[in-house]
Amino acid sequence: MKKTLLSLAAASLIVTSAVAADKGIDIVTTGQAVLYYETSAGNGTTNEELFDQGNSQANVGIQLNLDADLKNNFTFGSQLSYLGTAGLEKNLVSGTRQSVTGATAMTDISDEIALTKIFIAKKIANTTVKIGRQELPMSLSPLAFSEGWNVFKNTFEAALLVNSDIPDTLVVGAYVGQSNNSTGGSFSTFNSLNAVTSAGTTGVGGTAYMLTVQNKSIPMTTVTASYYDLAKVDSAATADLVPNYDIGATALWGDVAIAGKDLPMGLKVGLQAGQISPDSQLGTAVKFSDTTAFGVKVGLAPIEALTLCAAFTSVDGDDNKENVAVKNTGTGVKTPLFTQMIYNQNAIALDADTYMIKAVYNTGDYGKIIAQYAGTAAGKSNLQGSEIDYAEFDLIYKVKAAGVEYFASYINRSFDKGGAPVLLVTNTDATTEDVVRVWARYAF
């Protein structure tokens, strides 16, 4: 009798658990593990050497995504990110390329773990609404986007609406409140958007609205147009005005991509243009001008394994006023310009004419080899320095083996004296800088 009662109790527990599982949700788990290393050296008087501990940085990162279908067209997403060094700072590097709080000792779990995504999405007919901490792609948000060059991408506090009712057309509306960064020690800190200017970094204390329309009605052509409205913009470089928010700013950005199988030799053409228009004056101390930019790129595939590309971009500057740079307002780091290389963003983003040439050779199973070069003629308002011309050569190798993606690059940067190297080189008499970046990324 006891055995029978026990068996009935066990069966009841199994049935109850099964019913509970049916009422719950299934969570899909994905993620990635990353090992990231970078070292740099310049030719200045401090005699830095590549691979020296003091000139090197590294990260070990693990990212876990938890996604679920909540039924009734509701979905949920979250992402937990771990950024550490696994002790590499004790003998190989001096710090991290990206960290949660900027702490060097990393003695607390809060110094290494951040909640980088958490959102709810709802689909109604051809409209999807997504609210919470999320990524924004550059293709649909060219002036506030998630950057993928570092260990992990930055994310945004945003409300996003995507509609596809119009044939061949995607309409995207967004309210963007805050962002973390793609570099440094603030991966867990979400702050207001900011605009990089020739007067310093300018915080966006108010709301940021975006409207993007992407249309593919024209054969072989994708046309994308974006509009931004930023409120309560203030200049951190003008301390007497803080915390008085005196100006707003609007921005327009357009992109045309032409590509198709019917075009000869794999021809691809890209056009881009934009304008950032802040209110003309911030308080009584700083006056701003409009910034306009345009770019063109042409790509060819003369043989099956080889792709060639040439690009030119120009961003104007007014030497009599301050200027806003064409940079990602979410991070203040990268640009949406066609001539963006690995490390030339400060040179190309303001008062600059830049050309770039690029070749990609695909070996098949043995990966891709990429060689690219860009040269910039700088004006007086250039972020790299007044009339500091700049050049960069990148040699990159990418391959995927046994499920792991590998990346290795050598970067050579050259600039006029006083050009403010961007990595660990601090001496002002340097005119060249060499950088080596390698990483391995396993997605699961």
Per-residue pLDDT of the chain (444 residues), as tens digits, is 434 333 433 444 344 444 445 567 899 999 999 999 999 988 877 666 888 888 889 999 999 999 999 999 999 999 999 998 887 777 788 888 888 876 666 666 777 899 999 999 999 999 999 999 999 999 999 999 999 999 999 999 999 999 999 999 999 999 999 999 888 877 888 988 988 888 777 778 778 999 999 999 999 999 999 999 988 776 444 443 444 556 788 999 999 999 998 899 999 999 999 999 987 655 446 678 899 999 999 999 999 999 999 999 999 988 888 889 999 999 999 999 999 999 999 999 999 999 999 999 999 999 999 999 999 999 999 998 888 899 999 999 999 999 999 999 999 999 876 655 545 445 567 788 899 999 999 999
State both tokens at 78. Answer: 């979250």
The pLDDT of residue 104 = 60
- Across 125-220, the runs of DSSP E, i.e. the strands, are 127-134, 156-163, 169-179, 191-192, 194-197, 200-204, 208-215
377 contacts 357 by C-beta, under 8 angstroms: no
The pLDDT of residue 8 = 38
The pLDDT of residue 30 = 97
Q: Residue 213 and residue 225: Cα distance in Å, rounded?
A: 5
162 contacts 123 by C-beta, under 8 angstroms: no
43 contacts 432 by C-beta, under 8 angstroms: yes
Hey, what domains does the chain have and what are their CATH numbers? 24-443 (2.40.160.10)
Q: Give the DSSP letter string of 334-383.
A: ----TT--SS-HHHHSSSEEEEEEEEEEE-STT-EEEEEEEEEEE-TT-T
The pLDDT of residue 11 = 41
Using alpha carbons, select from 47, 45, 50, 112 the residue that is nearest to residue 81.
Answer: 112
